[in-house]
Structure 1
């Protein structure tokens, strides 16, 4: 992938002027949505196979949710599911994950409605189009029109930068969903117009025309004070991120093998769409036999393979995952946190975006990771050594 002599290809962009957003009403629409989910989650990403029925991905929440989709011509190219309900109407598991009873008590309203957006899927060839924005903009419009203040969701760690750009915040402990892996609970405060402006969310285009309610954000921060300490990728200056990473590791990031021979400036450019996240002891970061194409750097704590004998122990400064066709990881075993740990995740897509402006730095990183892969075939260790328990 990171070949210094490759020229940038010309890519024909989809004509977004023909995109239309619809709410599924007919059975055929819903069946096409379930098929699209299957194509994205199961066939492409290798997730959620346990939830599949034939070539469709469906569960009981679909029966009481709005199923939205973006269409061009005869093609459905993106979909999302929006559930609107009170805390009592959600399952106990979902209410606990998103701490809905804390909201209910804090805002003193048992009839408070909450929006939950799940099963977001976009065809690969349309991910650089406006399809994602269009469908999320429709979700925002529906919630704002009904004066629903809270929009919840969950994402894998490597998607945190994307959702923080949209205006979501992290606020609760991670959770796991079989078939989807480790997920981070996120929330968007629909009427916090000032915050959407601060993070330069594309949803601000809609929000600025609506009535803002600063009290929602004030009360949210009061209920979840730890959110003040979350390192938000949209609100953290590059210098502050570099300082944080250096303090966590006890040394500059450029001193670990994965980033050797890359300047601080180029390293920070590569990290522009990265995210720092925390996990608790026993959190499963990579499920068994699941390909991992994003790069994870351990900043503190310890991780290990779960059932391999002997176990491979990974510590601060080490890396795992892969970002190129040559460095694909298919661990034969899952990777779990042995203790509370902090990690930095570099999404494959964001690194690919910097391939052309930063060819030399990207190629150097690839060479560094390939060298480490030769030393540890299953999991790349930036220290070039295997430690077993």
Structure 2
């Protein structure tokens, strides 16, 4: 049975979807509006320091825009979201893109099976007022349809840690090592296998309702990908792991209960802590020299060291290190957006638990009692640290 609130939310979603129009930019004027929209989000809102930004004209564009498909969502005449897709063979992409997305390895499949095109999605953004709307899904759905039409087997991209849960919900997978991109920080390469309809079904991805209607699906790409990239992978997919499984993994990693080893959880019951971690957390692996936080960047996560070692590159004398499992590092980006005060890098193979501020906003609405305890814990910890100093 659907209650009144569910009916209202469902009706609101239908209205929102009906009012959002998905377009492909064709004219120079449309493209310029997208470049201006990007500048507003990345530079003015998120304070990113990007070399390609045209500050005089307040535009953001680069060489990939010259041959990209530029999608945008609008309500009336207002752009509320945008998504860029480049579809081509490996030789069409800059060398740096080939390197950090491992296109040379992926090309082994596409060459053998006669489907040489890759799709690379970047510059994905939604205006703050519409980040809870269907805008991102509608853009993703259009992107998926374009990939099917163009016969691209792999839809590739990359994101920061706080967005990993969102992309895994859609059906993307982590498959390769992290890389540093100037102005954007440490990014994780992602891939959506266009033909892996079963994966989309298991995830209950919103893309499944499109994928299930496809007449022809090539499952050999899924088998090949799993053999090459995931057979020895230590990646724990946030959407395929239950509360109990994640809790068990953390207990083993921390050699004890997370409620005992993680200060943030100290006021929560075991049931509450499980729900918070499963709803907002994601385990991420980092290699030596991966710089996880950058001084001056806005934080969108609450980072907890699970294993390995970290050090500050900012405070060298005395050297500040992080080596205690359960230890928090970096600025709080869970309950508010603060600015990092240090560059912090991994000095060994490291695993961290990143709690997403975006996921916490949703969690706050569905579990306000637990969320209030988390906010109070962070405030109390901050006061205690100030008192000690």
**TM exceeds 0.5?**
yes
Higher relative contact order (CA 8 A, sep 6+): 1
Partner of residue 302, structure 1? 309
Task: Quote the offset at 1:292 in angstroms.
Answer: 0.9
1:281 aligns to 2:288 (yes or no): yes
SS of alignment partner, residue 229 of structure 1: coil
Partner of residue 267, structure 1? 273
Partner of residue 312, structure 1? 320
- Measure the CA separation in 2 of the matches of 1:64 and 1:248: 46
Partner of residue 43, structure 1? 44
- Measure the CA separation in 2 of the matches of 1:356 and 1:220: 38
- Measure the CA separation in 2 of the matches of 1:291 and 1:376: 21
CA offsets, 1:238-259, max 9 Å, x none? 1110010111111211112211
Deviates more, 1:43-52 or 1:26-35: 43-52
Task: Quote the offset at 1:228 in angstroms.
Answer: 4.7
Q: Is the 8 A contact 2:16 2:134 kept in 1?
A: no
- Measure the CA separation in 1 of the matches of 2:232 and 2:256: 26
Task: Quote the offset at 1:229 in angstroms.
Answer: 3.4
Task: Quote the offset at 1:180 in angstroms.
Answer: 0.5
SS of alignment partner, residue 133 of structure 2: coil
Q: Is the 8 A contact 1:233 1:273 kept in 2?
A: no
1:224 aligns to 2:229 (yes or no): yes
- Counterparts of residues 205-244 of structure 1 (less than 5 Å): 205-210=209-214, 211-226=216-231, 228-244=233-249
- Counterparts of residues 1-389 of structure 1 (less than 5 Å): 15-54=16-55, 55-109=58-112, 112-210=116-214, 211-226=216-231, 228-255=233-260, 256-271=262-277, 272-308=279-315, 309-315=317-323, 316-320=325-329, 321-323=331-333, 328-376=337-385
- Measure the CA separation in 2 of the matches of 1:227 and 1:22: 41
- Measure the CA separation in 2 of the matches of 1:219 and 1:189: 11
Deviates more, 1:332-341 or 1:154-163: 332-341
Task: Quote the offset at 1:66 in angstroms.
Answer: 0.8
User: Structure 1 pair 101/328, CA: closer, same or farther in 2 (3 Å)?
Assistant: closer
User: Structure 1 pair 324/196, CA: closer, same or farther in 2 (3 Å)?
Assistant: closer
SS of alignment partner, residue 354 of structure 1: helix
RMSD over aligned Cα, in angstroms?
A: 2.2
SS of alignment partner, residue 314 of structure 2: coil
Q: Is the 8 A contact 1:221 1:227 kept in 2?
A: no
Unaligned runs of 5+ in 2: 1-7
More helix by share: 2
Deviates more, 1:306-315 or 1:212-221: 306-315
Partner of residue 6, structure 1? none
User: Structure 1 pair 116/328, CA: closer, same or farther in 2 (3 Å)?
Assistant: closer
Task: Quote the offset at 1:226 in angstroms.
Answer: 4.4
Q: Give the TM-score taking structure 2 as reference length.
A: 0.89
* Count of aligned pairs between the two proteins: 370
- Measure the CA separation in 1 of the matches of 2:364 and 2:197: 34
- Measure the CA separation in 2 of the matches of 1:58 and 1:51: 6
